[in-house]
Amino acid sequence: MITLQRARDRPQGPEGRAVHPADEAFGALRGCFEQLTSETVEPGQNLVRPMAAGAEVVVYVGEGSLDFNDGLGRAGSLIAGGFLRLTAATNIGFSVSNSSLSPARVYQIYLSPAALSVEPASEQCHLTVAERRGLGCVVASRDGRGGSMRLLHDTCIHSGVLRAGQHVVHVLTVGRVAWVHVVEGQVSVAGTNIRAGDRVCVSRQRTASITAHQPSEVLLIDVIASTR
């Protein structure tokens, strides 16, 4: 089953950022995936984002550069291709700011709070375009496969950069779904055409099949399905 959300239909959050909630129409299966937000951070702008105790967020800078404060006593910077994973033990507010002269594009993937008490954690990585060719690049996972950042949940986040005409297949094991968000370009997922800002959920299928119609970039979130 394919559940589609077009960019034009998504709700708008604070500061006009685009919000992609993971539990809207058609009884979609979301597991621990709460939402994905995408926004442009203008030069000189500072944004503070709340996190509930036990929750996790993966931040990705698609364009430009950002400074961050993780709310856990650590500050740093991210450039395009940079990822940051935060786990909050208590309610915190992490912030990102743009001290450059150019806008930055940032994506934030929120996972629901874990049932058990957790230790606060923060880690980051940077992946080149070459490392993200195809769909084999794992950014974050529960088991830290391939040196990826570690998540509390049984979730796997992939980043893929596809050339025009390239076809890739992501295998889904029983009980799992894939959320595919187009960062840039145009692709088809199981025959459904989507453009930058669009997103689909692939459920009750053995694979998520993706074909790029032009140079494209996608984020794929593989989670255990649960009916909400």
Sign of CA dihedral 123, 96, 65, 223: positive
Task: Judge residue 8's burial from the number of C-beta atoms within 10 Å of its C-beta, 0-12 exposed, 13-18 middle, 19 or more buried.
Answer: exposed
Domains and CATH numbers, the chain: 2-10+17-224 (2.60.120.10)
User: Which strand (E) or helix (H) includes residue 94?
Assistant: strand 92-97
Pairing of strands 138-141, 149-150: parallel
Q: Name the residue among 216, 187, 183 with its Cα closest to residue 202.
A: 187
Sign of CA dihedral 201, 209, 141, 137: negative
> pLDDT by residue for the chain (228 residues), tens digit each?
888 888 877 555 544 455 555 545 434 466 788 889 999 999 999 999 988 888 899 999 999 999 999 888 889 999 999 999 999 888 888 999 999 999 999 999 999 887 667 888 899 999 999 999 999 899 999 999 999 999 988 999 999 999 999 999 999 999 899 999 999 999 999 889 999 999 999 998 999 999 999 999 999 999 988 755
